[in-house]
């Protein structure tokens, strides 16, 4: 039953989503690193990694301390769910200036919603590196566990839940990052065109000349 519920929620989140149509800019008062000073906000990563590490340790060694698998399963799922929510709504917002969610429209369709910080407020390189490495490494770790749990259906259920939740964040943040870069590039091009229209015209003409030559 738990497997069906998680598979259903994941399919509604990741499949059938409408095109990535809506993106917003984070408000300055809620962005990390106010002004031009780049501050480190590794505390959210440390907190979420602690939760994720606790879930992994419980998965690996919980059977040595208790034979009550339902208890281990419930605690692991709660830890994984808390980690998913924190990474999705807090860590990404503070560390890389990104946030995503899936909005259900009145007609029943799903639309991806993206938020990103203003490009004038850069992220801390260390925070960004730690965030992205942790995001992808966690999925790899749980997939690795999955190979050893193939013949243990009960424990494999925990792995499926972990992969599902972490992969949802990977997909969401990857698309959100692409949307932010596309938005920033469009804004930069528009700013350049407004500040020096003659230069843009020359570049455009040169491009057309090469295209038709």
- Starting at the earlier edge strand, list the strands of the sheet with 110-116: 17-25, 110-116, 98-104
Per residue in 143-202, pLDDT tens? 999 999 998 889 999 999 999 999 999 999 999 999 888 887 776 555 655 666 555 455
Residue matched to tokens 């917002």 = 93
Please tell me the distance from the alpha carbon of residue 172 to that of residue 10, in angstroms, as a whole number.
Answer: 12
DSSP state of 36: T
User: Which of 86, 105, 103 lies closest to 169, judged by CA?
Assistant: 86
The whole model's pTM is what? 0.69
Q: How far apart are the first and last CA of the chain?
A: 64
Residue matched to tokens 């003659």 = 198
What pLDDT sits at residue 105?
82
């Amino acid at each position: 039953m738990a497997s069906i519920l998680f598979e259903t929620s994941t399919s509604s989140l990741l499949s059938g989503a409408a095109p990535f149509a809506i993106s917003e800019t984070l408000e300055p008062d809620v962005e990390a690193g106010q002004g031009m000073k780049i501050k480190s906000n590794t505390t959210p990563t440390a907190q979420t990694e602690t939760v994720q590490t606790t879930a992994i340790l419980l998965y690996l060694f919980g059977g040595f301390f208790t034979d009550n698998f339902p208890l281990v399963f419930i605690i692991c799922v709660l830890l994984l769910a808390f980690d998913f929510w924190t990474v999705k709504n807090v860590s990404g917002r503070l560390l890389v200036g990104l946030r995503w969610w899936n909005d259900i429209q009145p007609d029943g369709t799903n639309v991806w919603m993206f938020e990103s910080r203003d490009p004038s407020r850069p992220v801390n390189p260390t925070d960004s590196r730690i965030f992205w490495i942790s995001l992808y490494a966690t999925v790899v770790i749980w997939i690795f566990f999955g190979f050893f749990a193939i013949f243990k259906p009960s424990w494999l259920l925990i792995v499926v839940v972990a992969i599902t939740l972490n992969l949802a964040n990977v997909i969401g943040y990857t698309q959100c990052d692409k949307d932010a870069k596309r938005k920033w590039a469009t804004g930069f091009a528009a700013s350049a065109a407004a500040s020096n229209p003659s230069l843009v015209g020359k570049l455009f003409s040169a491009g057309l000349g090469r295209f038709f030559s």
